[in-house]
Structures are given as structure tokens and as C-alpha cells.
Chains A and B, each alone.
Chain A
């Protein structure tokens, strides 16, 4: 039976995906500003942040309206709860992208510290995690969501590696402390983006399978 509010649910999903693509693009542009030494890319991230924030408010309002008017149950309820939480994660990803862009602008005032090897890999991984977590939502694909959870460790490892490497640069040459520190911040922000993608994947698993996979170490009775 086709339900009259099905259209509202579809539209909500489309808006969330659009917000996701804005957040993902912001992350990409922020990191690319560092890699390509393109300050205008960093400036674009700062300009476009408002669009993500506006989307957050719009999606919240849509969720509130559907909760109040449709009083959803079961999968519909889990979907709206998941969307509401994912909305918050995407907005935070937008904030992390802004942090990266601001670091990029500061980094570009200095000569390049080292060739960038791990940073693009890390960025690619984090962006793919965001993209795949949202693809999992669209397809209701639990396996894809679980693969996102597994990838979080790789991002963490790259952050640690980058941190160690930059530390040695800083110890050898105090002139590179400032840009190296900013690069560490970029890596930290990418690692946080991976965490948000993980949260999204967990919400997708909850929505699709009704399983709460957050904090597996907790004894839930």
C-alpha cells in the first residue's frame, strides 16, 4: 500500500544526501587547498559552510514535522531517528572541513614542509567513508555500512603515522613547527571526519537492521 507521506520520506532522504555531498565536497576542497596550494579552494569552503548549516536546520524541521504529524513506528521511526543523528554528524563534518580550510590558509603562508603522501590517502579514505555511509543509507546496505566501521582504524593509523613523521620534522627544524602543527590539525580533523562517518554507518545499521552497534564493549541487557 502506497502511503501518502512516502513522498516526504523520499524528499527528506534526498535533502540529506545533498547535504552529505556538500559536506564531502567541503572536506575535499579543504584538503585540496593544502595539496595544490590553492587558497581560493579554502575560501570556497568558508563561503559554502552556511549552505550546510541551512540544510541542517531544514532537515531538522522536516524530521520534526514528520514525527509530529505521522507519529511513525518501527522502520519509519528508526529512519527519522537515524536521519536526525546523521544530520548532526554531517553538520560537524562541515565544521571539520572549515577547520581544515582555515589550517590550509595558515599552512600556505609557509614553504611546504614535506611531500604530501599520507595526507591525500587519509583524505581519500575519510571522504570515501562519508560517501559510502550515505550510499549504505540509500541502498539500505548493512554490509557496506559495516565496511565503513572497519575502515576507521586505517584512518587512525594514518593519523598516528603522520603525527610521528611531523614530530621528527619539528624536532629537526624549529622553523617548520608552525606549518607542521597545522598539518597535524588537518590530520586530526580528517580523523574526526572518519569518526562521524562511523557514526553515520552505525545509524544506518540501526535503521536497516534495528541493531544498535554503538559501543560494543557495553553490556546491554
Chain B
């Protein structure tokens, strides 16, 4: 938490008592927030087909950045580049630079990178194991030596799932509902304490109540985690993110603070897309 007075030196600020707001408040602009990712001149190719063109983007630490744009605009491709998940697809390559905390991700050990940059997919994909083993899986393969029980419980708490599953941790993960499975996948990703969580349309298969839970969860996690979310749901981007980037045809068209982008976008193509005039 930090102390601030609203509106800088405004009269309202001088008259108002000092208020305390969360450090993750979107009123702090990107320029003031430390950066987690710095992406410069990124081009991405599937074989000879280029999917991302000269993308430059700064992703601030402990903020939610939403990627929006029509289907096929390259946002999921871009997202998967951030933890080199695209390397699992044959014939892909990228050039340009992606720095994670100032370090080039290509020079990093890929397992270590993916431990630091976790991912949650569109459809919940729990392992065919118990709830407990799903969460413990990442810890075990990382050779975690501490008390597994504590960390499993902690991760399930962070994913807002503990209360719902604490009495049957050893049941199959497939017994859970879709929304619970998705939160289990988030708990699994959180278990190894990543610095970044990439979310690829995490709510597209969920009902509004479960979607609200995931969004609330994202808000809670901001204190400890940087998140990048791909979503087709404009309202979700508006509700849940601090910054929004609009992509079109593989290019970044506009990147701004979310309230600004959704009320007074700078680019007419952003305006047309978010008002539903195309896309």
C-alpha cells in the first residue's frame, strides 16, 4: 500500500484527507511502474508465413495487460512467444528481442523461463490425476524439498479454490466443474510461484459467475504476479486489466491505459473494433 493524494496538486487533493490506495491501482501509469517484459521489434514466423510484425511493447510489473483484437490477429501467438511456448510448434521462429527483467529470454534455460512465466489455457486441462497431485506436479518435477501439503494448500487458496475442494483433495480433478478445473489449472501454475502468468482466453468456456471469480482472482494476484491476458471479451478486458493492447493483422495498433483505450482510443481502427464496427 502507498499513500497518495488524488489529482496531484489539485484543490480537491489539497482539501481531501490523505487516502490510501493499493499500489496496483491503475492510476499509476506505465511510465512510473517498473517493467517486467520489454519487447522490441518482434517478428514471428510460422514457416514462411509472418504472424507478428515489428511489435514493440512494454509490460509493467504487477499489472494486468490485456491483448485484444480479432481472431487471427496474432495475439495468442504473441502471448506464447513470451515463454517460448511456440517452440513446441515445428517450423516457427522469431526475431527481435524479448527481455524479462532485463534478460533476453532466448538466452535463458527454457524450463526455468516457463517456471517463471506460467500459462493458463483457454480450456481447462487438468492432468488425469487427483486435485492434490495436479497442484503438486510442478513442485515435484522442480525437486521441491519442503512440505508439499502446505504449498498445495497455499496455491489452492491463492486460486480461490481451497474452500471448495479441501475435503476431497485426493479425488480426480475431472470431478470438478469447468470453472473449478480452470482455477485448479491456475493453482497448478501458481504452485511454482511464477512472476508472470499468461492467460489465453481463460474464461471463454466459463459461465458469468465463474468468470467473475477468475477476474477477482486476477485482481488479488496482482500484488505478486504480472499477468497478460488474451481475451475476446471486451468487457472483460475493460474490467480486469490495467493496460490494453489492440492488435490487428499481426501489428500492435494501440497500447494504452485501459480506461483511456476504452473511452477515448487514439487510433480509428481501435475505435472501430471496440465499438463493434468490424472484427
Q: Which residues of A come within 8 Å of B, CB atoms?
A: 1, 3, 71-78, 210, 218-219, 221
Contact = CB atoms under 8 A, between A and B. Distances in A.
B262 A73 contact: yes
B154 to A, nearest CB: 36
Given A1-B278, A73-B238, A218 B10 contact: yes
Interface string B7-42: 111100000000000000000000000000000000
A87 to B, nearest CB: 20
A3 B264 CA distance: 20
A210 B265 CA distance: 8
A74 B271 contact: yes
A77 B8 contact: no
Q: Which 8 A-B pairs have the closest CB atoms?
A: A210-B264, A73-B274, A74-B271, A221-B8, A73-B262, A76-B275, A74-B275, A74-B274
Contacts of A218: 10
Interface in B223-279: 234-235, 238, 262-265, 270-271, 274-278
B276 A210 contact: no
B7 A72 contact: no
A88 to B, nearest CB: 20
A22 to B, nearest CB: 30
A208 to B, nearest CB: 11
Query: What is the interface of chain A mostly: helix, strand, loop, or mixed?
Result: loop
A219 B8 contact: yes
A142 B15 CA distance: 34
A51 B4 CA distance: 48
Judged by DSSP, the binding face of B is loop
Contacts of B235: 71
Contact of A73 (B7, B10, B234, B278): B234
B263 A77 contact: yes
Contacts of A77: 262-263
Given A210-B263, A210-B264, A75 B275 contact: yes
Nearest to A73: B274
B264 A74 contact: yes
A221 B27 CA distance: 10
A1 B70 CA distance: 14
A133 B262 CA distance: 26
A75 B271 contact: yes
Nearest to A209: B264
A219 to B, nearest CB: 7
28 contacts: A1-B277, A1-B278, A3-B276, A3-B277, A71-B235, A72-B275, A73-B234, A73-B238, A73-B274, A74-B262, A74-B263, A74-B264, A74-B265, A74-B270, A74-B274, A74-B275, A75-B271, A75-B275, A76-B275, A77-B262, A77-B263, A78-B263, A78-B264, A210-B263, A210-B264, A218-B10, A221-B7, A221-B8
Contacts of A72: 275
A135 B8 CA distance: 37
A72 B276 CA distance: 9
A78 B274 CA distance: 13
Contact of B276 (A1, A78, A219, A221): A1
Contacts of B275: 3, 72-76
Contacts of B7: 221
B190 to A, nearest CB: 31
B9 A219 contact: yes
A219 B12 CA distance: 11
Nearest to B276: A3
B98 to A, nearest CB: 30
Contacts of B234: 71, 73
Nearest to B29: A221
Contacts of B278: 1
Nearest to B270: A74
Most chain A beta carbons < 10 A, residue from B8, B9, B263:
B263
Contact of A219 (B10, B263, B270): B10
A75 B10 CA distance: 28
A67 to B, nearest CB: 12
B261 to A, nearest CB: 8
Contacts of B265: 74
Contacts of B262: 73-74, 77
Given A3-B275, A75-B271, 12 more contacts: A3-B276, A73-B275, A74-B265, A74-B270, A74-B271, A74-B275, A75-B275, A76-B275, A77-B262, A78-B264, A210-B263, A219-B9
B270 to A, nearest CB: 8
Contacts of B9: 219
Nearest to A5: B276
